[in-house]
Amino acid sequence: MIIITGLGRCGTSLLAKFFHEMEFNLGNQISWNEDMRAGYEFAPAYAINRDLYTDFIDPGKDIDLDERIDCPYWGYASYRERIFRFDKDDIPERHQGGKIEVIKDPRFTWSPLLIRSWRKVRSDLKLIICHRNTQEIWMSRKYLGEKYYDPKHERMLNPDIYKIDFNDFLTEVMRLDIPFELLFFPNFLTNLEKVLTACKRLDISIDKVKARFVWGNMIDLSLVAKWRGNES
């Protein structure tokens, strides 16, 4: 299972779109938000992290993976069942007729307890972690405004909190010995070879000829210049 994550506003959506265009299965419940220039998050997957955070982590409770709740996607199921099953659903119209191969969710960085919970259930995780200057991430989120805030970032009063979150998350990934690769934004946008090298190290098979065609049609160099100017 390939997971694309990061603090947000650091290229995770664009990378997810790349895998989608390369015909990896991201599920049917994905969409693109033009206002945010973001998307491609599979709803049943990110809902797991959202619910774990709001039900346990935010109120300071111990996580109980076996607690059963009513889920719109599966009905009555435990968190453990949801983590194990979300990519194995046999309803074709939900999954484009096959097993989900890639998910994108920045919420993994909200707390190290989230990736720890997933690791307890699954040993097949591979992470592609996007990163960016935390000051730029903070400014980009402020630019979006409160309309797109979430339960975690509405309390993000300064960029130092992003540094702490990212350090805690990455430390836990390494402690759990989960295979991962780091891609720094916006540098990787103009260096596809970094993306291809990361995939190779994670044993992700990529058609390089097709990848160069897809990447060339995706990357807007005018936006890259804007990002390098530290604008949102």
Q: Which tens digit of pLDDT belongs to each residue from 89-99?
A: 655 555 455 68
**Tokens for 161?**
């909190």
Q: How far apart are CA 216 and CA 190, in angstroms?
A: 9
| pTM for this entry | 0.90
The backbone torsions φ and ψ at residue 81, rounded to the nearest 5 degrees and listed phi first, read: -65, -40
Q: How far apart are CA 111 and CA 113, in angstroms?
A: 5
pLDDT for the residue numbered 149? 58
Q: Please, which residues have CB within 8 angstroms of residue 141's CB and are 6 or more apart in sequence?
A: 8, 9, 148, 149, 153, 156
Per-residue pLDDT of the chain (232 residues; tens, 9 = 90+): 999 999 988 999 999 999 999 999 998 878 777 666 778 998 888 999 999 999 999 999 999 999 998 877 778 899 999 999 888 765 555 545 568 899 999 999 999 999 999 999 999 999 999 999 988 888 877 776 655 556 666 555 677 888 899 999 999 999 999 999 999 999 999 999 999 999 999 999 999 999 999 999 998 777 665 665 555 4
Domains delineated in the chain: 2-228 (3.40.50)
Neighbours of 111 (CB within 10 A): 22
- The three state secondary structure string of 180-191 is EEEEECCHHHHC
